[in-house]
Protein backbone atom coordinates (compact mmCIF):
# COMPACT_ATOMS: atom_id res chain seq x y z
CA UNK A 1 0.00 0.00 0.00
CA UNK A 2 1.46 3.36 -1.00
CA UNK A 3 2.45 5.67 1.83
CA UNK A 4 0.18 8.74 1.94
CA UNK A 5 2.28 11.89 2.04
CA UNK A 6 1.28 14.64 4.48
CA UNK A 7 0.24 17.84 2.61
CA UNK A 8 2.64 19.87 4.77
CA UNK A 9 6.42 20.05 5.16
CA UNK A 10 8.34 20.30 8.43
CA UNK A 11 9.81 23.77 9.15
CA UNK A 12 7.61 25.39 6.48
CA UNK A 13 5.24 28.29 7.21
CA UNK A 14 1.49 28.25 6.47
CA UNK A 15 -1.45 30.64 6.79
CA UNK A 16 -4.33 28.92 8.60
CA UNK A 17 -7.67 29.46 10.34
CA UNK A 18 -8.18 27.63 13.63
CA UNK A 19 -11.38 25.61 13.65
CA UNK A 20 -11.50 24.01 17.09
CA UNK A 21 -9.70 23.27 20.38
CA UNK A 22 -8.28 19.86 21.35
CA UNK A 23 -9.12 18.36 24.75
CA UNK A 24 -5.79 19.73 26.02
CA UNK A 25 -6.40 23.27 24.83
CA UNK A 26 -4.41 23.44 21.57
CA UNK A 27 -5.86 25.15 18.50
CA UNK A 28 -6.78 22.86 15.57
CA UNK A 29 -6.06 24.03 12.00
CA UNK A 30 -6.54 21.90 8.88
CA UNK A 31 -4.39 22.08 5.77
CA UNK A 32 -6.02 20.08 2.93
CA UNK A 33 -7.92 18.18 5.64
CA UNK A 34 -4.70 17.39 7.57
CA UNK A 35 -5.01 18.50 11.23
CA UNK A 36 -2.24 20.57 12.81
CA UNK A 37 -2.30 21.16 16.58
CA UNK A 38 -0.95 24.53 17.71
CA UNK A 39 -0.62 25.68 21.32
CA UNK A 40 -2.15 29.10 22.05
CA UNK A 41 -4.43 29.12 18.97
CA UNK A 42 -8.16 29.81 19.39
CA UNK A 43 -11.13 28.90 17.15
CA UNK A 44 -11.87 31.53 14.50
CA UNK A 45 -8.38 33.06 14.56
CA UNK A 46 -6.35 33.52 11.39
CA UNK A 47 -2.62 33.04 11.85
CA UNK A 48 0.77 32.17 10.40
CA UNK A 49 2.16 28.92 11.82
CA UNK A 50 5.38 26.93 11.44
CA UNK A 51 5.04 23.13 11.19
CA UNK A 52 7.44 21.64 13.75
CA UNK A 53 6.51 17.93 13.78
CA UNK A 54 4.64 15.58 11.45
CA UNK A 55 3.08 12.30 12.62
CA UNK A 56 0.93 9.77 10.82
CA UNK A 57 -2.39 11.54 10.29
CA UNK A 58 -1.63 14.82 12.11
CA UNK A 59 1.08 17.33 12.90
CA UNK A 60 2.17 20.00 15.39
CA UNK A 61 2.84 23.64 14.71
CA UNK A 62 4.06 26.78 16.45
CA UNK A 63 2.11 30.04 16.39
CA UNK A 64 4.24 32.66 14.60
CA UNK A 65 1.86 35.57 13.97
CA UNK A 66 -1.81 36.31 14.61
CA UNK A 67 -3.62 38.04 11.75
CA UNK A 68 -7.07 38.02 13.39
CA UNK A 69 -7.69 37.61 17.13
CA UNK A 70 -10.66 35.81 18.67
CA UNK A 71 -12.99 38.08 20.71
CA UNK A 72 -12.47 35.50 23.49
CA UNK A 73 -8.68 35.99 23.53
CA UNK A 74 -7.27 37.65 26.66
CA UNK A 75 -3.75 38.42 27.83
CA UNK A 76 -2.67 35.74 30.29
CA UNK A 77 -1.96 37.44 33.63
CA UNK A 78 0.71 34.91 34.63
CA UNK A 79 4.23 36.07 33.57
CA UNK A 80 5.46 32.48 33.05
CA UNK A 81 2.27 31.10 31.46
CA UNK A 82 3.88 30.23 28.12
CA UNK A 83 6.83 28.41 29.71
CA UNK A 84 5.04 26.63 32.57
CA UNK A 85 3.04 23.48 31.87
CA UNK A 86 0.53 24.00 34.70
CA UNK A 87 -2.26 25.88 32.85
CA UNK A 88 -3.37 25.54 29.23
CA UNK A 89 -6.20 28.09 28.83
CA UNK A 90 -5.21 31.40 30.45
CA UNK A 91 -5.26 33.05 27.00
CA UNK A 92 -8.99 32.22 26.67
CA UNK A 93 -11.58 34.30 28.54
CA UNK A 94 -13.21 32.46 31.44
CA UNK A 95 -16.59 32.55 29.71
CA UNK A 96 -14.87 31.11 26.61
CA UNK A 97 -13.28 28.35 28.72
CA UNK A 98 -16.68 27.29 30.11
CA UNK A 99 -18.20 27.20 26.61
CA UNK A 100 -15.27 25.16 25.26
CA UNK A 101 -15.54 22.64 28.09
CA UNK A 102 -19.30 22.29 27.57
CA UNK A 103 -18.76 21.68 23.83
CA UNK A 104 -16.04 19.12 24.60
CA UNK A 105 -18.28 17.13 26.99
CA UNK A 106 -21.18 17.07 24.47
CA UNK A 107 -18.95 16.02 21.59
CA UNK A 108 -17.20 13.25 23.54
CA UNK A 109 -20.49 11.79 24.81
CA UNK A 110 -21.78 11.67 21.23
CA UNK A 111 -18.56 10.43 19.58
CA UNK A 112 -17.37 7.83 22.10
CA UNK A 113 -20.57 6.93 23.94
CA UNK A 114 -23.04 7.43 21.05
CA UNK A 115 -25.14 9.31 23.64
CA UNK A 116 -26.70 12.26 21.83
CA UNK A 117 -30.10 12.92 23.38
CA UNK A 118 -28.92 13.45 26.95
CA UNK A 119 -29.22 16.89 28.59
CA UNK A 120 -25.73 18.37 29.11
CA UNK A 121 -26.12 21.45 31.30
CA UNK A 122 -23.89 24.53 30.99
CA UNK A 123 -20.67 24.16 33.01
CA UNK A 124 -20.88 25.36 36.62
CA UNK A 125 -17.96 27.78 36.93
CA UNK A 126 -16.45 29.87 39.72
CA UNK A 127 -17.31 33.49 40.47
CA UNK A 128 -13.57 34.03 41.04
CA UNK A 129 -11.58 31.43 39.06
CA UNK A 130 -8.18 32.24 40.60
CA UNK A 131 -6.27 31.22 43.73
CA UNK A 132 -8.34 28.05 44.23
CA UNK A 133 -5.81 25.23 44.78
CA UNK A 134 -5.31 24.22 48.43
CA UNK A 135 -2.28 22.01 47.74
CA UNK A 136 1.05 22.79 46.06
CA UNK A 137 3.80 20.27 45.44
CA UNK A 138 6.73 22.01 43.83
CA UNK A 139 10.01 20.46 42.60
CA UNK A 140 13.23 22.06 43.84
CA UNK A 141 16.41 22.48 41.80
CA UNK A 142 19.64 24.47 41.78
CA UNK A 143 20.80 27.21 39.48
CA UNK A 144 24.02 29.22 39.86
CA UNK A 145 24.43 28.02 43.43
CA UNK A 146 20.94 28.98 44.60
CA UNK A 147 17.74 26.97 45.02
CA UNK A 148 14.90 27.34 42.53
CA UNK A 149 11.34 26.09 43.03
CA UNK A 150 8.60 26.04 40.44
CA UNK A 151 6.76 23.87 37.96
CA UNK A 152 8.36 22.01 35.08
CA UNK A 153 8.51 23.64 31.66
CA UNK A 154 6.16 21.97 29.20
CA UNK A 155 7.47 18.58 27.99
CA UNK A 156 10.74 18.93 29.94
CA UNK A 157 12.30 18.53 33.36
CA UNK A 158 13.56 22.09 33.39
CA UNK A 159 12.20 23.91 36.48
CA UNK A 160 10.70 27.34 35.79
CA UNK A 161 11.44 29.35 38.94
CA UNK A 162 8.36 31.15 40.21
CA UNK A 163 7.46 33.52 43.02
CA UNK A 164 3.71 33.04 42.71
CA UNK A 165 1.21 30.75 41.02
CA UNK A 166 -2.11 32.44 40.24
CA UNK A 167 -4.18 29.27 40.67
CA UNK A 168 -2.66 28.44 44.09
CA UNK A 169 -3.98 29.74 47.38
CA UNK A 170 -1.73 32.68 48.33
CA UNK A 171 -0.67 30.86 51.50
CA UNK A 172 0.84 28.05 49.42
CA UNK A 173 3.08 30.58 47.65
CA UNK A 174 4.14 31.94 51.05
CA UNK A 175 5.03 28.43 52.27
CA UNK A 176 7.02 27.46 49.16
CA UNK A 177 9.04 30.71 49.04
CA UNK A 178 9.66 30.75 52.81
CA UNK A 179 10.79 27.12 52.98
CA UNK A 180 12.97 27.52 49.87
CA UNK A 181 14.69 30.56 51.41
CA UNK A 182 15.22 28.82 54.78
CA UNK A 183 16.70 25.72 53.13
CA UNK A 184 18.94 27.88 50.95
CA UNK A 185 20.15 29.75 54.04
CA UNK A 186 21.32 26.47 55.59
CA UNK A 187 22.91 25.17 52.38
CA UNK A 188 20.47 22.31 51.79
CA UNK A 189 21.25 20.84 48.38
CA UNK A 190 18.47 20.24 45.89
CA UNK A 191 18.01 16.72 44.54
CA UNK A 192 19.61 16.14 41.14
CA UNK A 193 17.69 13.48 39.23
CA UNK A 194 20.61 12.83 36.83
CA UNK A 195 23.24 12.15 39.51
CA UNK A 196 20.74 10.91 42.16
CA UNK A 197 22.46 13.13 44.72
CA UNK A 198 21.27 16.03 46.87
CA UNK A 199 18.65 16.17 49.60
CA UNK A 200 15.52 18.27 48.94
CA UNK A 201 13.26 16.94 46.15
CA UNK A 202 9.95 18.78 46.60
CA UNK A 203 8.26 21.28 48.91
CA UNK A 204 4.58 20.55 49.54
CA UNK A 205 2.08 22.92 51.14
CA UNK A 206 -1.47 22.01 52.22
CA UNK A 207 -3.91 24.69 53.33
CA UNK A 208 -7.29 24.43 55.05
CA UNK A 209 -9.47 27.01 53.31
CA UNK A 210 -12.01 27.22 56.16
CA UNK A 211 -9.70 26.54 59.13
CA UNK A 212 -6.62 28.46 57.83
CA UNK A 213 -4.45 25.56 59.06
CA UNK A 214 -1.17 24.99 57.19
CA UNK A 215 0.88 21.84 56.65
CA UNK A 216 4.47 21.96 55.37
CA UNK A 217 5.97 18.80 53.84
CA UNK A 218 9.67 18.47 52.97
CA UNK A 219 10.19 15.60 50.53
CA UNK A 220 13.81 14.44 50.75
CA UNK A 221 16.00 11.78 49.16
CA UNK A 222 17.77 11.09 52.47
CA UNK A 223 16.52 10.31 55.94
CA UNK A 224 19.01 12.85 57.28
CA UNK A 225 18.00 16.50 56.95
CA UNK A 226 20.95 18.75 57.89
CA UNK A 227 20.15 21.61 60.32
CA UNK A 228 16.77 19.98 60.94
CA UNK A 229 16.06 21.73 64.28
CA UNK A 230 16.99 25.17 62.93
CA UNK A 231 14.90 24.67 59.78
CA UNK A 232 11.88 23.57 61.86
CA UNK A 233 12.29 26.52 64.21
CA UNK A 234 12.44 29.04 61.33
CA UNK A 235 9.41 27.51 59.57
CA UNK A 236 7.39 27.83 62.82
CA UNK A 237 8.55 31.42 63.17
CA UNK A 238 7.89 32.49 59.56
CA UNK A 239 4.87 30.51 58.30
CA UNK A 240 1.55 31.83 59.71
CA UNK A 241 -0.90 29.24 61.13
CA UNK A 242 1.48 26.30 60.57
CA UNK A 243 0.09 23.30 62.46
CA UNK A 244 2.14 20.47 60.98
CA UNK A 245 5.68 20.01 59.63
CA UNK A 246 6.27 16.66 57.95
CA UNK A 247 9.24 14.94 56.29
CA UNK A 248 8.58 12.40 53.55
CA UNK A 249 11.56 10.29 52.46
CA UNK A 250 11.81 9.14 48.85
CA UNK A 251 15.20 7.48 48.15
CA UNK A 252 14.14 6.02 44.78
CA UNK A 253 15.22 7.01 41.27
CA UNK A 254 11.70 7.90 40.18
CA UNK A 255 9.47 10.77 39.11
CA UNK A 256 6.86 9.64 41.68
CA UNK A 257 6.79 12.50 44.15
CA UNK A 258 6.33 10.83 47.54
CA UNK A 259 8.15 7.88 49.11
CA UNK A 260 6.80 5.26 51.52
CA UNK A 261 8.16 6.73 54.78
CA UNK A 262 6.54 9.79 56.35
CA UNK A 263 7.36 11.25 59.76
CA UNK A 264 6.09 14.17 61.79
CA UNK A 265 8.91 16.65 62.52
CA UNK A 266 6.72 19.03 64.53
CA UNK A 267 3.05 19.54 65.41
CA UNK A 268 0.15 17.36 64.33
CA UNK A 269 -0.03 14.56 61.78
CA UNK A 270 -3.18 16.16 60.30
CA UNK A 271 -4.64 19.52 59.47
CA UNK A 272 -8.42 20.00 59.15
CA UNK A 273 -10.76 21.56 56.64
CA UNK A 274 -14.46 21.57 55.77
CA UNK A 275 -16.45 20.87 52.61
CA UNK A 276 -19.89 22.23 53.42
CA UNK A 277 -20.53 21.30 57.06
CA UNK A 278 -18.42 18.11 56.98
CA UNK A 279 -14.98 18.22 58.57
CA UNK A 280 -11.99 16.32 57.18
CA UNK A 281 -8.64 15.39 58.69
CA UNK A 282 -5.96 15.71 55.99
CA UNK A 283 -2.56 14.02 56.25
CA UNK A 284 0.46 14.58 54.00
CA UNK A 285 -0.60 11.63 51.85
CA UNK A 286 -4.40 12.03 51.95
CA UNK A 287 -6.24 12.41 48.69
CA UNK A 288 -8.33 15.53 49.28
CA UNK A 289 -9.94 17.59 46.53
CA UNK A 290 -7.74 20.58 45.67
CA UNK A 291 -10.65 22.96 45.04
CA UNK A 292 -12.99 22.60 48.04
CA UNK A 293 -15.33 25.40 46.89
CA UNK A 294 -16.16 23.58 43.64
CA UNK A 295 -16.03 20.16 45.34
CA UNK A 296 -19.04 21.28 47.39
CA UNK A 297 -20.83 22.21 44.13
CA UNK A 298 -19.91 18.83 42.60
CA UNK A 299 -21.00 16.75 45.61
CA UNK A 300 -24.24 18.67 46.11
CA UNK A 301 -25.11 17.83 42.50
CA UNK A 302 -24.20 14.16 43.10
CA UNK A 303 -26.47 14.19 46.18
CA UNK A 304 -29.30 15.77 44.16
CA UNK A 305 -28.95 13.09 41.46
CA UNK A 306 -29.02 10.30 44.08
CA UNK A 307 -32.54 11.49 45.12
CA UNK A 308 -32.20 10.08 48.64
CA UNK A 309 -35.18 10.03 51.03
CA UNK A 310 -33.43 8.56 54.09
CA UNK A 311 -34.51 4.96 53.40
CA UNK A 312 -31.83 3.98 50.88
CA UNK A 313 -28.73 1.79 51.02
CA UNK A 314 -25.95 3.43 48.99
CA UNK A 315 -22.61 2.02 47.82
CA UNK A 316 -19.77 4.47 47.16
CA UNK A 317 -17.19 2.79 44.91
CA UNK A 318 -13.75 4.45 44.85
CA UNK A 319 -14.65 6.24 48.10
CA UNK A 320 -11.18 7.67 48.90
CA UNK A 321 -11.12 9.34 52.33
CA UNK A 322 -14.92 9.26 52.46
CA UNK A 323 -15.66 12.67 50.97
CA UNK A 324 -18.78 11.72 48.96
CA UNK A 325 -19.71 8.90 51.39
CA UNK A 326 -20.12 11.32 54.29
CA UNK A 327 -22.26 13.69 52.20
CA UNK A 328 -24.46 10.72 51.23
CA UNK A 329 -24.62 9.38 54.80
CA UNK A 330 -26.42 12.53 55.96
CA UNK A 331 -29.35 11.66 53.65
CA UNK A 332 -29.22 7.85 53.33
CA UNK A 333 -30.12 5.01 55.67
CA UNK A 334 -26.74 3.28 55.20
CA UNK A 335 -23.61 3.93 53.12
CA UNK A 336 -20.96 1.36 52.23
CA UNK A 337 -17.65 2.74 50.90
CA UNK A 338 -14.89 0.76 49.21
CA UNK A 339 -11.39 1.88 48.22
CA UNK A 340 -8.20 0.03 47.25
CA UNK A 341 -5.83 2.28 49.26
CA UNK A 342 -5.70 1.14 52.94
CA UNK A 343 -4.55 4.55 54.26
CA UNK A 344 -7.53 6.21 52.55
CA UNK A 345 -9.93 3.83 54.30
CA UNK A 346 -8.30 4.63 57.66
CA UNK A 347 -8.83 8.32 56.85
CA UNK A 348 -12.46 7.62 55.86
CA UNK A 349 -13.16 5.89 59.19
CA UNK A 350 -11.48 8.74 61.07
CA UNK A 351 -13.51 11.34 59.16
CA UNK A 352 -16.79 9.51 59.88
CA UNK A 353 -15.92 9.50 63.59
CA UNK A 354 -14.87 13.16 63.46
CA UNK A 355 -18.35 14.08 62.17
CA UNK A 356 -20.31 11.69 64.43
CA UNK A 357 -21.53 9.72 61.40
CA UNK A 358 -22.27 6.09 62.36
CA UNK A 359 -24.24 4.88 59.31
CA UNK A 360 -21.18 4.65 57.01
CA UNK A 361 -19.09 1.50 56.76
CA UNK A 362 -15.78 1.26 54.87
CA UNK A 363 -13.84 -1.66 53.37
CA UNK A 364 -10.40 -1.98 51.74
CA UNK A 365 -10.25 -3.71 48.36
CA UNK A 366 -11.05 -3.54 44.68
CA UNK A 367 -14.63 -2.34 44.12
CA UNK A 368 -15.18 -5.08 41.52
CA UNK A 369 -14.28 -7.74 44.13
CA UNK A 370 -15.77 -6.26 47.32
CA UNK A 371 -19.16 -5.18 45.90
CA UNK A 372 -20.10 -8.65 44.52
CA UNK A 373 -19.19 -10.10 47.94
CA UNK A 374 -21.53 -7.60 49.61
CA UNK A 375 -24.21 -8.58 47.09
CA UNK A 376 -23.76 -12.27 48.03
CA UNK A 377 -24.14 -11.27 51.70
CA UNK A 378 -27.53 -9.76 50.88
CA UNK A 379 -26.50 -6.09 50.71
CA UNK A 380 -28.73 -4.66 47.97
CA UNK A 381 -27.92 -1.09 46.92
CA UNK A 382 -30.68 1.31 45.90
CA UNK A 383 -28.04 3.67 44.52
CA UNK A 384 -24.39 3.20 43.54
CA UNK A 385 -22.07 6.20 43.31
CA UNK A 386 -18.80 5.88 41.37
CA UNK A 387 -15.95 8.41 41.31
CA UNK A 388 -13.17 6.53 39.50
CA UNK A 389 -9.66 7.69 38.48
CA UNK A 390 -9.05 9.03 34.95
CA UNK A 391 -9.00 5.54 33.44
CA UNK A 392 -12.69 5.15 34.38
CA UNK A 393 -14.51 2.20 35.96
CA UNK A 394 -13.21 -1.33 35.81
CA UNK A 395 -15.27 -3.40 33.35
CA UNK A 396 -15.99 -5.95 36.10
CA UNK A 397 -17.48 -3.20 38.31
CA UNK A 398 -19.77 -2.03 35.49
CA UNK A 399 -20.97 -5.61 34.94
CA UNK A 400 -21.54 -5.95 38.72
CA UNK A 401 -23.69 -2.78 38.68
CA UNK A 402 -25.69 -4.15 35.73
CA UNK A 403 -26.19 -7.46 37.60
CA UNK A 404 -27.16 -5.76 40.90
CA UNK A 405 -29.67 -3.45 39.17
CA UNK A 406 -29.69 -0.50 41.60
CA UNK A 407 -32.42 1.97 40.66
CA UNK A 408 -29.89 4.78 40.35
CA UNK A 409 -26.24 5.22 39.47
CA UNK A 410 -24.47 8.54 40.02
CA UNK A 411 -21.21 8.76 38.05
CA UNK A 412 -18.69 11.44 39.09
CA UNK A 413 -16.01 11.71 36.41
CA UNK A 414 -12.74 13.58 35.91
CA UNK A 415 -12.40 12.38 32.30
CA UNK A 416 -15.28 12.86 29.81
CA UNK A 417 -13.81 10.24 27.43
CA UNK A 418 -13.91 7.35 29.91
CA UNK A 419 -17.27 8.62 31.24
CA UNK A 420 -18.70 8.32 27.71
CA UNK A 421 -17.26 4.82 27.26
CA UNK A 422 -18.68 3.63 30.61
CA UNK A 423 -22.11 5.21 30.05
CA UNK A 424 -22.35 3.28 26.78
CA UNK A 425 -21.74 0.00 28.68
CA UNK A 426 -24.36 0.90 31.33
CA UNK A 427 -26.89 1.93 28.67
CA UNK A 428 -26.36 -1.35 26.81
CA UNK A 429 -26.93 -3.09 30.17
CA UNK A 430 -30.39 -1.61 30.75
CA UNK A 431 -29.70 1.90 32.08
CA UNK A 432 -30.54 5.35 30.75
CA UNK A 433 -28.49 8.52 31.21
CA UNK A 434 -30.90 11.32 32.12
CA UNK A 435 -28.56 14.29 32.43
CA UNK A 436 -24.93 15.34 32.79
CA UNK A 437 -23.71 18.35 34.79
CA UNK A 438 -20.13 19.51 34.03
CA UNK A 439 -18.36 21.37 36.87
CA UNK A 440 -15.24 23.50 36.42
CA UNK A 441 -12.98 22.23 39.20
CA UNK A 442 -9.75 23.44 37.57
CA UNK A 443 -10.16 26.84 35.87
CA UNK A 444 -7.49 27.79 33.28
CA UNK A 445 -6.61 24.11 32.71
CA UNK A 446 -8.07 21.66 30.19
CA UNK A 447 -9.74 19.52 32.87
CA UNK A 448 -13.49 19.30 33.45
CA UNK A 449 -15.41 17.18 35.97
CA UNK A 450 -18.90 15.83 35.32
CA UNK A 451 -21.73 14.28 37.31
CA UNK A 452 -24.10 11.98 35.42
CA UNK A 453 -27.53 10.83 36.60
CA UNK A 454 -28.30 7.30 35.40
CA UNK A 455 -31.43 5.24 36.10
CA UNK A 456 -32.70 1.75 35.31
CA UNK A 457 -34.82 2.03 32.16
CA UNK A 458 -37.96 0.80 33.93
CA UNK A 459 -37.45 3.65 36.45
CA UNK A 460 -36.83 6.30 33.79
CA UNK A 461 -40.50 7.16 33.23
CA UNK A 462 -41.35 7.51 36.94
CA UNK A 463 -39.90 11.01 37.38
* Percent above pLDDT 90 for the chain: 89
Whether residue 117 is found in the same domain as residue 172: no
When pLDDT is averaged across residues 360-377 and rounded to a whole number, the result is: 94
Weakest mean pLDDT among 144-158, 189-203, 281-295: 144-158
When pLDDT is averaged across residues 139-165 and rounded to a whole number, the result is: 87
Confidence class for position 83, pLDDT limits 50, 70, 90: confident
* CATH number of residue 425's parent domain: 3.40.50.150
Whether residue 209 is found in the same domain as residue 159: yes
Is the per-residue pLDDT at 137 higher than 90? yes
**Active-site option among 87, 165, 383, 414:** 414
Whether residue 303 is found in the same domain as residue 451: yes
Is the per-residue pLDDT at 459 higher than 90? no
Is the per-residue pLDDT at 361 higher than 80? yes
Whether residue 113 is found in the same domain as residue 205: no
When pLDDT is averaged across residues 391-395 and rounded to a whole number, the result is: 95
The pLDDT of residue 236: 98
Range of the domain at 223: 135-275
Whether residue 147 is found in the same domain as residue 119: no
The pLDDT of residue 85: 77
The last residue of one of the domains, among 275, 308, 336, is 275
Whether residue 149 is found in the same domain as residue 245: yes
Domains of the chain: total: 3
For residue 135, give every residue at least 6 positions away whose Cβ sits within 8 Å of its Cβ, in sequence order, or none.
172, 204, 205, 206, 207, 288, 290
Active site residue 319: no
Q: Distance between CA 364 and CA 247 in Å, rounded? A: 26
Weakest mean pLDDT among 65-69, 370-374, 436-440: 370-374
Is the per-residue pLDDT at 428 higher than 90? yes
For residue 445, give every residue at least 6 positions away whose Cβ sits within 8 Å of its Cβ, in sequence order, or none.
25, 86, 87, 88, 89, 167
Q: Distance between CA 455 and CA 457 in Å, rounded? A: 6
Whether residue 118 is found in the same domain as residue 140: no
Mean pLDDT of all residues in the chain?
94
The pLDDT of residue 34: 95
Pairing of strands 146-152, 135-143: antiparallel
The pLDDT of residue 2: 47
The full length of the chain comes to: 463
Is the per-residue pLDDT at 78 higher than 60? yes
The pLDDT of residue 205: 98
Q: State CA 237 to chain mean position distance.
A: 32
For residue 336, give every residue at least 6 positions away whose Cβ sits within 8 Å of its Cβ, in sequence order, or none.
313, 314, 315, 316, 360, 361, 362, 363, 374, 379, 381
C-beta atoms surrounding 313 within 10 Å: 18
Q: What is the pLDDT of residues 295-309, one digit of tens each?
A: 999 999 999 999 999
Q: Distance between CA 434 and CA 394 in Å, rounded? A: 22
Confidence class for position 461, pLDDT limits 50, 70, 90: low
The last residue of one of the domains, among 275, 307, 327, is 275
Is 128 buried (19+), middle (13-18) or exposed (0-12) by CB count in 10 A?
exposed
The pLDDT of residue 116: 87
Confidence class for position 3, pLDDT limits 50, 70, 90: low
Q: What is the pLDDT of residues 205-231, one digit of tens each?
A: 999 999 999 999 999 999 999 999 999
User: Is 280 a member of any domain?
Assistant: no
Is the per-residue pLDDT at 186 higher than 50? yes
* CATH number of residue 53's parent domain: 2.40.50.140
User: Is 80 a member of any domain?
Assistant: no
Q: What is the pLDDT of residues 311-333, one digit of tens each?
A: 999 999 999 999 999 999 999 99
User: Is 286 a member of any domain?
Assistant: no
> Of 379, 411, 404, which Cα lies nearest the Cα of 312?
379
Is the per-residue pLDDT at 287 higher than 90? no
Is the Cβ–Cβ distance between 96 and 443 less than 8 Å? no
Is the per-residue pLDDT at 463 higher than 70? no
> Of 185, 217, 237, which Cα lies nearest the Cα of 284?
217
Is the Cβ–Cβ distance between 444 and 167 less than 8 Å? yes
Is the Cβ–Cβ distance between 395 and 428 less than 8 Å? no
Give the chain's largest Cα–Cα span: 71
When pLDDT is averaged across residues 67-89 and rounded to a whole number, the result is: 93
The pLDDT of residue 143: 87
Q: What is the pLDDT of residues 36-56, one digit of tens each?
A: 999 999 999 999 999 999 999
User: Is 179 a member of any domain?
Assistant: yes
Whether residue 189 is found in the same domain as residue 252: yes
User: Is 81 a member of any domain?
Assistant: no
Q: What is the pLDDT of residues 238-247, one digit of tens each?
A: 999 999 999 9
> Of 409, 414, 410, 426, which Cα lies nearest the Cα of 450?
414
Q: Has this prediction a pTM greater than 0.85?
A: yes
> Of 39, 17, 44, which Cα lies nearest the Cα of 88?
39
Sheet of strand 242-249, all strands in order from the earlier edge strand to the far edge: 159-161, 146-152, 135-143, 200-207, 214-220, 242-249, 261-267
Q: Distance between CA 335 and CA 303 in Å, rounded? A: 13
When pLDDT is averaged across residues 342-368 and rounded to a whole number, the result is: 96
Whether residue 233 is found in the same domain as residue 316: no
Amino acid sequence: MAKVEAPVTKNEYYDVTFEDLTHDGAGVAKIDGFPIFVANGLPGEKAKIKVIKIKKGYGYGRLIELYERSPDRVDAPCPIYKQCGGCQLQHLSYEGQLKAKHKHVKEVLARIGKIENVIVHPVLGMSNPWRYRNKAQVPVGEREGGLVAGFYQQRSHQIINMDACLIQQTMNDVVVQTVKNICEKYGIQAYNEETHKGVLRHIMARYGLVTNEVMVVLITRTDDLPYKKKIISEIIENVPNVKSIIQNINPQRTNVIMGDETKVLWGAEYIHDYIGDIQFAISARSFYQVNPEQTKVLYEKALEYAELTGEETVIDAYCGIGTISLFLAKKAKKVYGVEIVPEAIEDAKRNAKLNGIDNAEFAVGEAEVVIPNWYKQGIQADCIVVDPPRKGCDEALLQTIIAMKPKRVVYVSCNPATLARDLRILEDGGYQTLEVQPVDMFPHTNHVECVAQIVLKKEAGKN
